[in-house]
């Protein structure tokens, strides 16, 4: 037989054999009619290395049947050659495609550890379905010479909380391969192995960043009363990379003592990259004064620091400090105004913010004007008239951003404005106009684009039009 059934609860799996034909699908559809208690059909192609294109008509037939019955159809374990066939026949987007690990033997699953895209998912699946068979396989992999298999075997027993492997994981700290060591460090944290903490500390200074970061995370998981001071001592070294790792560990521990250490380090640090990093880490501490610290750093002389301060204010949702941030919009240093305005656009949804930005618009530098136009679109207040006027600005970037913000404010009502912008002298504005038209509901969009294409000279705008026409 070319197929067989496997029903579990309300999920029905149709397991296809390599010799499946389009005629078989007629039988599959007929037999499916007898199942009145299912919600999902999974078409398993694990055994099919290749299928003839005419078999795809059966896929379409089955898909039609499932839609009529409100059944969820999923193609599972689809071979790459079949994926390519679906793409060539423009059917790929019609089907939902997944990997179903229940179709594989434990031995077959292990081979997926070599697949970068599937290794983590397979490890999770094995851990969730852990049994003596999987345990035996993990034991052999941990003893193997293949570093990839060893790495994922360690991670898998860690996820499965199999403490019988504790000594094996400890031994892996001495492995020559960084990823194996990283896995061991990570799992010892999961195992809450306080005895190994002393051996993990040196890895904070590992030449492999992933290993050092894993050490920081595990030390945080195993942290005790004296770890904050011990980490603080490491900050005294003149090693920038080590500083970042130690700051990360302190942030993960995240207690009052660690906060004071990180804050002190910020006050004494001179390197702009480290200052930006420490600002970001400081924002993960739930301290009210952090908002004020971040606002102060909006005025730092480094744009990297300013940008980090602004994004951190957004991350912690500092809406209570909107007024303080707004005051910096008109700062004499236009970059302070620029990043402050960017923060306002992300944080504020109140009309008063939009009113203030429109009020100061004509008194600020061009870069701040651009940020204001962008912010107005994100705030979403009734400012369409103001944005429409901005379409007359000499600065093409401002005109482009004004159109985008009008789209955010007006939605489909922006159609006529976007059509008008197709005549703009700047290709950047015309490109944005095409992009906006592609996002809104227009019945005659194809005719509009084809007509504009006749007189369009810019290759980027043309490519955008061709791309949209291909999607229609």
- Distance, in Å, from the CA atom of 32 to the CA atom of 38, rounded to the nearest integer, reads 9
Using a pLDDT cut of 90, give the percent of the chain over it: 85
Residue 343 phi, psi (nearest 5): -65, -40
pLDDT in tens, 167-180: 999 999 999 999 99
DSSP 157-170: HHHTT-GGGHHHHH
Where residue 161 falls among pLDDT bands split at 50, 70, 90?
Answer: very high
For the chain, give the mean pLDDT.
94
With cut-offs at 50, 70 and 90, classify the pLDDT of residue 472. Answer: low
Q: How many residues does the chain have?
A: 472
Q: With contact defined as beta carbons under 8 Å apart, do 148 and 114 qualify?
A: yes
Residue 104 three-state SS: coil
Closest CA to 368 of 333, 323, 412, 317: 333
Range with the lowest mean pLDDT among 194-203, 315-324, 434-443? 434-443
Phi, psi of 405 (to 5 degrees): -70, -35
Q: What integer pLDDT is reported at residue 381 of this predicted model?
A: 84
**pLDDT surpasses 80 at 1:** no
Alpha-carbon distance of 364 to 372, in angstroms, equals: 10
pLDDT tens sequence across 5-31: 999 999 999 999 999 988 899 999 999
* β-bridge pairing 11-16 and 72-76: unpaired
At 270 the pLDDT is 93
Q: What is the pLDDT of residues 431-447, one digit of tens each?
A: 999 999 999 888 888 88
Quick: pLDDT tens for 56-87.
Answer: 999 999 999 999 999 999 999 999 999 999 99
Query: How far is 204 from 363, CA to CA, in rounded Å?
Result: 50
pLDDT of residue 39: 94
94-125 pLDDT tens trace:
899 999 999 999 999 999 999 999 999 999 99
pLDDT band at 471 (very low <50, low <70, confident <90, very high): low
Residue ranges, comma separated, of all CATH 1.25.10.10 domains in the chain are: 104-222, 288-383+395-407
Rounded CA-CA distance 65/7 in Å is 18
pLDDT bucket at 238, cuts 50 / 70 / 90: confident
For residue range 382-414, list pLDDT tens digits in order.
Answer: 899 999 999 999 999 999 999 999 999 999 999
CATH of domain 104-222: 1.25.10.10
Residue 442: predicted pLDDT? 82
| Cα dist from 80 to 18, 116, 209, 282, whole Å | 15, 15, 34, 46
User: Tell me, what's the pLDDT at 237?
Assistant: 84
Do the Cβ atoms of 47 and 16 come closer than 8 Å?
Answer: yes
**What are the residue ranges of CATH 3.30.750.24 in the chain?**
3-101
> How many angstroms separate the CA atoms of 451 and 459, rounded?
16
pLDDT of amino acid 389? 96
Q: How confident is the model at residue 52 (pLDDT cuts 50, 70, 90)?
A: confident
pLDDT (average), residues 89-97:
90
- What is residue 22's predicted lDDT score, i.e. its pLDDT? 86
pLDDT at 253 over 80: yes
* pLDDT confidence band for 461 (50 / 70 / 90): very high
Distance CA 176, CA 36 (A): 57
Residue 326: what pLDDT? 97
Q: 341: exposed, middle or buried (C-beta count within 10 Å: 0-12, 13-18, 19+)?
A: buried
Contact at 8 Å (CB) between 313 and 343?
yes
What is the band of 267 on the pLDDT scale with cuts at 50, 70, 90? very high
Q: What single string gives the DSSP state of each residue in 316-342?
A: TT-GGGHHHHHHTTT-SSHHHHHHHHH
- Provide CATH code, domain 3-101: 3.30.750.24
Q: Mapping DSSP to helix (H, G, I), strand (E, B) and coil, where does residue 77 land? A: coil
365-402: burial string, b at 16+ Cβ within 10 Å, e else: eebbbbbbbbbbbbbebebbebbbebbebebebbbbbb
Q: Pairing mode, if any, of strands 96-98 and 3-8?
A: unpaired
What pLDDT is recorded for position 152? 97
Q: Which class does domain 288-383+395-407 fall in? A: mainly alpha
Q: How confident is the model at residue 338 (pLDDT cuts 50, 70, 90)?
A: very high
């Amino acid at each position: 037989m070319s197929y067989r059934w496997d029903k579990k609860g309300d999920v029905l799996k149709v397991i296809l054999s390599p010799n499946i034909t389009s005629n078989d699908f007629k039988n599959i559809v007929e037999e499916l009619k007898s199942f009145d208690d299912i919600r999902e059909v999974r078409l398993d192609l694990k055994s099919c290395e290749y299928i003839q294109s005419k078999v795809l008509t059966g896929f379409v037939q089955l898909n039609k049947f499932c839609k009529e019955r409100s059944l969820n159809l999923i193609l599972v374990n689809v071979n790459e050659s079949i994926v390519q066939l679906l793409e060539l026949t423009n059917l790929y987007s019609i089907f939902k495609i997944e990997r179903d690990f229940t179709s594989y033997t434990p031995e077959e699953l292990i081979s997926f550890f070599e697949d970068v895209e599937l290794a983590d998912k397979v490890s999770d699946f094995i851990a969730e379905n852990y049994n003596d068979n999987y345990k035996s396989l993990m034991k052999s992999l941990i003893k193997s010479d293949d570093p990839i298999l060893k790495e994922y075997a360690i991670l898998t027993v860690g996820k499965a909380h199999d403490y019988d492997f504790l000594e094996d994981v400890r031994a892996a700290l001495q492995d020559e391969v960084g990823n194996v060591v990283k896995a061991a460090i990570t799992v010892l944290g999961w195992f809450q192995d306080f005895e190994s903490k002393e051996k993990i500390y040196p890895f904070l200074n590992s030449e492999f960043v992933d290993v050092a970061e894993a050490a920081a995370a595990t030390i945080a998981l195993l942290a005790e009363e004296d770890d904050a001071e011990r980490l603080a001592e490491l900050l005294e070294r003149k090693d920038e990379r080590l500083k970042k790792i130690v700051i990360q560990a302190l942030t993960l521990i995240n207690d009052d003592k660690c906060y004071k250490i990180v804050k002190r380090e910020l006050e004494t640090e001179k390197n702009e990259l480290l200052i930006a990093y420490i600002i970001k880490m400081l924002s993960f501490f739930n301290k009210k004064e952090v908002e004020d610290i971040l606002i102060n750093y909006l005025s730092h002389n480094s744009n990297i620091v300013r940008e980090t301060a602004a994004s951190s204010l957004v991350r912690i949702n500092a809406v209570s400090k909107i007024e303080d941030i707004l005051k910096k919009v008109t700062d004499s240093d236009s970059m302070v105004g620029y990043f402050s305005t960017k923060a306002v656009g992300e944080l504020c949804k109140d009309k008063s913010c939009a009113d203030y930005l429109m009020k100061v618009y004509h008194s600020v530098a061009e870069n701040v004007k651009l940020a204001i136009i962008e912010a107005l679109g994100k705030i979403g207040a009734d400012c369409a008239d103001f944005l429409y006027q901005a379409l007359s600005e000499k600065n093409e970037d401002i005109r482009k951003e004004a159109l985008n913000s009008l789209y955010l404010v007006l939605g489909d009502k922006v159609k006529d404005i976007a059509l008008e912008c197709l005549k703009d002298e700047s290709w950047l504005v015309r490109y944005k106009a095409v992009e906006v038209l592609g996002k809104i509901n227009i019945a005659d969009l194809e005719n509009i684009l084809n007509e504009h294409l006749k007189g369009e000279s810019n290759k980027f705008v043309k490519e955008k039009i061709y791309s949209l026409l291909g999607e229609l």
